[in-house]
Structure 1
């Protein structure tokens, strides 16, 4: 296996493992609050966003972020909604074919971003119903 296929397999395994039985407003608040606490401990300039369907359940922009981070969040969320997988996995899969996500004519980079940061909220036996997104960190 190559590094790329190893990463793809790792992210696919994470997506298969990180599945909820339900996801409520309170769950979004608890998860978002935990992510904010971790980001503050590490002095990370990030924006954190959690959605269920079209509803934004949690949003926090920490010190050092800008309006651009909100645009990155929106583009990453659209990528997860369109492809049903994490924004990082979508980018990895495209690169594994030898073509960058951005080079595909049907992937408008003003609408989508296949970079790390947005992960599907998946309900067991139902599939993806939302997103958890972070913007502001360097691409791994």
Structure 2
């Protein structure tokens, strides 16, 4: 799972790019946001994961849930990770991995305020065929690779329906 320019335990950049390509949706409705958010809540409850979950389309928050053990800090992380996706159009984990592959970090080299932006895993672009990136889905509360993996798993479930 790890490789070229990433830290051990982190997915390879090519794997992350392939996920984003594969997890492009045909559409994204309010009902899809509810189904996706509900799938994430179900996954988190199964794992007793203390996470907060956020789904947005453009500037509108369509779904938000904070589970037991999460805190307002998770909401702050959601905002910081989400801003990275909105700015770069790629998952927060992929953006951070690209910087690490260059031998630096997002915080050192992006020139963006680390109080407003965090290229840590857990925020993923909602990409729709023919429309591009139209929103974000974000999880915060677990180690960043696990936050990212939970989002990917929920998107895979949505695509399977």
- TM-score interval (norm. to shorter): over 0.9
> Any unmatched runs of 5+ in structure 2?
146-161
Compute the TM-score of the two structures, normalised by the length of structure 1: 0.95
- 1:75 paired with 2:80, answer yes
C-alpha distance in structure 2 between counterparts of 1:3 and 1:101, whole Å: 14
> Any unmatched runs of 5+ in structure 1?
none
C-alpha distance in structure 2 between counterparts of 1:103 and 1:112, whole Å: 12
- 1:41 paired with 2:62, answer no
2:13 counterpart residue number: 8
How many pairs does the alignment contain?
Answer: 140
After the TM superposition, which parts of structure 1 deviate over 2 Å for at least 4 consecutive aligned residues? 1-6
Deviations 1:57-116 (A, max 9, x none): 000000001100000000011000000000000000011111100002512110101000
C-alpha distance in structure 2 between counterparts of 1:134 and 1:59, whole Å: 10
Q: Do the aligned partners of 2:54 and 2:64 also contact (CA within 8 Å) in 1?
A: yes
Q: Do the aligned partners of 2:4 and 2:101 also contact (CA within 8 Å) in 1?
A: no
> CA, structure 1 residues 127+105, in 2 after alignment: closer, same or farther (shift >3 Å)?
closer
Alpha-carbon offset, residue 139 of structure 1: 2.7
Aligned Cα RMSD in Å? 1.5
| Matches for 1:1-140 after TM superposition, within 5 Å | 2=4, 4=6, 7-104=12-109, 106-140=111-145
Describe the SS at the equivalent of 2:82. helix
2:152 counterpart residue number: none
Compute the TM-score of the two structures, normalised by the length of structure 2: 0.83
